[in-house]
Structure 1
Amino acid sequence: MVTPYERIGGAVVVDRLVEAFYHRMDTLPEAKQIRDMHGTNLGPIKHILKRYFSEWLGGPKLYSPEKGHPRLRQRHMGFAIGNAERDAWLLCMRGALEETVSDIQARQDVDAAMTKLADWMRNQAGNPHDARAGRP
């Protein structure tokens, strides 16, 4: 079975995806509130996200040997994540997916899984806490 990681193009595309995502976060006015949640140096967080996406998409396990179980909601509890933050994150990610993933069906599948993940990450009013983060 071909993994989503392989379908989108592997490590090269994961790298491009994360770079395109953070470029949008740096430049889109709609993303200012989520950009402000990050430090000035995005290098370390880019590294972590690339390793996480590699593993989450079915590629090499690069994240968990270094960081352990992702526990994404727990790791993000210090940040207020509501609908506006989710929407800004998805705006940046969808643009990055469009730019970097040429396989339309793979892009749609990853987008659907990322949308579930973004919904699940909300920790402000409006988050159904029993929702489960999807995987592609």
Structure 2
Amino acid sequence: GADRELQTVRQMMIDFLQNHSQESRPPACPSLDPVLSSDITSLFDKNSHHYTAIVFESNNSYVGREVILDLIQYENIVKLGISSVPSCYLMHPNGSHGLINILKPLRSFFSSYLKSLPGVRKKLLLPLELPVKENKEESTEIKPWKEFDK
């Protein structure tokens, strides 16, 4: 149905963004590539004043990349794309860490939980203005993008 088509379109968009080189990737798009296990283990040795969430997923899963894109408008989030079964591991500012108990390993559950952590708040952004394609009868005007969440 329509949900399946939306999922396919979302996955195609993620594939498109991930296949861009660093230089040609849109400026607001973070890297969506998996992180090396050595980078993950180094996180356990650091004491931070922030939470760090690690999403573990299978190679063909889009959950981690979708959560990264869901949280792009939020600050105080460390974004990682990791592979090995859909689950989320949280490292607390005090150095403790553990698996997050979420009813269903779905994007919406992970994103909602991470957005609810203390100190995680939506970024204040200036409206993005892009030039509108010029029509021969019209002058070029700039229309601000409207914020859209979901």
Instruction: Please report the TM-score for the alignment, with normalisation by the length of structure 1.
Output: 0.30
The structure with more radius of gyration: 2
Q: Which has the higher strand share?
A: 2
Q: Which has the higher helix share?
A: 1
Instruction: Please report the TM-score for the alignment, with normalisation by the length of structure 2.
Output: 0.28
